[in-house]
Structure 1
């Protein structure tokens, strides 16, 4: 595919999981992609990489400023801190809540502050948020994760209403079900069966399509991505909750 040749993309939190799949899809379509993450993407990915810890505000601001020095056609925010496992609010330490705030919510704020000017210069640039069904469902054992992801959604809804759509468009994507990723595998038993789980590469098609169109049809929308790679707007139906007390 050569449809994205000449365009520049940035993925924050793109070393693994959905963020990595977005970065690889853009790169394979010809885009020049820089990944910002704590760990370097492994394998022959063809991705450029700079180290960043979104919980380190000073360092993150510096790295983001450098990455945004030229026009950006697309930015994806996929950085996330879940915690070691699902746990009730009363069992969650303050340190975990602060880490979720720093990475999930403040990390997005820092990314937006740095990259919106670069996206405007691309006229129009696309901001692609990797969201979650917890924005719509909440659920036991994940209060901090749900609260910070919902905060991200509200932040983007406000910015969507502020920005000129000829300059910046904002779209969120989220999985219809659980996704097999390194983060999930760290929280599952060694013999867990992942055959029913989605794969990160289910997000490849929509990631490329949204850059091709700069998100024109879906500006301000949240799109549920399904296991066959298709997608649908949350305006046509709330995503299914993935809450499961047995996994707490």
Structure 2
């Protein structure tokens, strides 16, 4: 149950963040939602919005200090803000990759560094990092996004070992495809695909087809609520397909995840890649 617990969530203007903020507020949690532009954010009943760009040290510090001043504590930190990038690894510039990592990896790191001192003092807290099945699966033409999610999984596991003695734990929520603007409007690398054009086009069409038929963000929000209120588990895949993928990944070689038919530009997705989250 909520019992007046205080939630701080990033990336709450739309998609998973907005759905999660709404659901937790409905369940009685006190929700502070970080968005880059609070004035343009759609209001959510009983959710308090604050200005937050997770790539800014100053804004992260100000947001966390504001929540602590208003509520006295942070019981649950949800690192949800994220960006995507699609394109061949070879054609991805270091600057493009750095932008993805700044949001998807260093953003959570900034929030964790700012929030942990109060959690340690209270000897209570939960950090939920929104990852993806691409945190443990390969994905052609999504190498930078996937590597950022692999990174947040490694950070989360290591951090959990460091802070559990203070009664603070870390959870990874791992969605597959989710029908959100992030997934539908994924950024693409600036450089032309060149030799990869055929494969990239076929992969992009297949991924978009999966995203458009995927469940809504509420699907992930429900899992985040279960993660907060249920028994502790480090990794929490969202839905039966993600759970299956997590189990299969232990036994299936990486090359089995993607098959390109000889002499054809068509792409065949295996059971593993049918459930990617873009």
TM-score by length of 2: 0.73
Residue 232 (structure 1) shift = 4.5
Q: Aligned partners of 1:110, 1:63: CA distance in 2, in Å?
A: 11
The secondary structure found in structure 2 opposite 1:210 is helix
- Partner of 1:71 in structure 2? 73
User: 1:198-224, CA deviations, whole angstroms, 9 ceiling, x for partnerless residues?
Assistant: 2110123332233234xx431xx2111
Aligned residues: 233
- Partner of 1:183 in structure 2? 182
Decide which moves more: 136-145 or 103-112: 136-145
User: How do residues 88-237 of structure 1 correspond to structure 2 at under 5 angstroms?
Assistant: 88-164=88-164, 167-175=167-175, 177-187=176-186, 196-213=213-230, 216-218=231-233, 221-226=234-239, 232=243, 236-237=247-248
The structure with the largest alpha-carbon Rg is: 2
Q: Aligned partners of 1:113, 1:13: CA distance in 2, in Å?
A: 17
Residue 101 (structure 1) shift = 1.8
Q: Aligned partners of 2:142, 2:211: CA distance in 1, in Å?
A: 21
The secondary structure found in structure 1 opposite 2:164 is coil
Q: Aligned partners of 2:242, 2:27: CA distance in 1, in Å?
A: 20
Residue 161 (structure 1) shift = 0.8
Describe the shift of the 1:242–1:95 C-alpha distance in structure 2 as closer, same or farther (beyond 3 A).
Answer: farther
Q: Aligned partners of 2:178, 2:96: CA distance in 1, in Å?
A: 22
- Partner of 2:273 in structure 1? 241
Q: List alignment gaps of at least 5 residues for structure 2.
A: 187-203, 251-271
Q: Aligned partners of 1:159, 1:131: CA distance in 2, in Å?
A: 15
Question: In the alignment, is the contact (CA less than 8 A) between 1:222 and 1:234 conserved in 2?
Answer: no
Residue 134 (structure 1) shift = 1.2
Describe the shift of the 1:233–1:192 C-alpha distance in structure 2 as closer, same or farther (beyond 3 A).
Answer: closer
Q: Aligned partners of 2:9, 2:160: CA distance in 1, in Å?
A: 19
1:46 aligns with 2:59: no
User: How do residues 15-26 of structure 1 correspond to structure 2 at under 5 angstroms?
Assistant: 15-26=13-24
The secondary structure found in structure 1 opposite 2:128 is strand
Q: List alignment gaps of at least 5 residues for structure 1.
A: none
Q: Which one has a larger percent helix, Structure 1 or Structure 2?
A: 2
Describe the shift of the 1:76–1:90 C-alpha distance in structure 2 as closer, same or farther (beyond 3 A).
Answer: same
Question: In the alignment, is the contact (CA less than 8 A) between 2:15 and 2:217 conserved in 1?
Answer: yes
Q: 1:28 aligns with which of 8, 26, 30?
A: 26
Residue 123 (structure 1) shift = 4.1
Q: Aligned partners of 1:226, 1:44: CA distance in 2, in Å?
A: 26
Describe the shift of the 1:57–1:4 C-alpha distance in structure 2 as closer, same or farther (beyond 3 A).
Answer: same
Describe the shift of the 1:207–1:144 C-alpha distance in structure 2 as closer, same or farther (beyond 3 A).
Answer: same
